[in-house]
Amino acid sequence: MATTPEKAELRNGRLAARDAMPVEVRLEKNLLLTAHGLGVIAVSAGTVVSGFLPIRSEVDLKPLMAAFSQEGAKLCLPAILDKETIVFREYRPDGELISMGFGTYGPAEHEPILQPEIMLVPLAAFDQSGNRIGYGGGYYDRAIHQMRQKGHNPRLIGIAFDCQEVASVPVEPHDIRLDAILTESGYRTFA
């Protein structure tokens, strides 16, 4: 999936801003984001929640996912099948993780594929309307589109730091909007 020059510029700028945060500041913001998430994202026993393991300077969702697991949620992580496709395999903290490329890891092939009801979505940039810029591969947009084609409509919650917000994201036909964004300053829903 091609990316526009404007999207590439916004992506690079917001990732550079995120990377520039000192580690101790990022950890503090991560704790705030986790606390906000625990206060507003309700899960019950059996709710399937997809998260992601951090790469580079991304938000670390492990504390939030651990809390969801204690509430009885089933967790899953993206698993890259090929250059076009991701699925969401069950994640258990003691389960085997394998390299998925791009510096990230996911559950091994023998873990069951789950259908997320809540998706915690990684991103490079977002705007006040819920539009997001991912990392340029289109994996999440394709996966969510396929879920919706099958009648599944997971709640999409972008995960980012405030410094990743931009005035406006250029929208293309294949882009899928977020339902909400969770940052260190709180949780916002989009109409």
- pLDDT band for position 191 (cuts 50, 70, 90): confident
Structural domain boundaries, residue 177: 5-189
- pLDDT band for position 102 (cuts 50, 70, 90): confident
- Domain tally for the chain? 1
- Tell me, what's the pLDDT at 93? 82
29-50 pLDDT per residue, tens? 999 999 999 999 999 999 999 9
Within 10 Å of residue 86's Cβ, how many Cβ atoms? 20
The model scores a pTM over 0.85? yes
Q: What percent of the chain has pLDDT over 70?
A: 98
- pLDDT band for position 12 (cuts 50, 70, 90): very high
- Tell me, what's the pLDDT at 144? 96
Q: Which of 29, 24, 25, 33 is nearest to 51 (CA)?
A: 33
**CATH no. for residue 81?**
3.40.50.10420
Residue whose entry in the numeric block shows the structure tokens 């084609």: 149
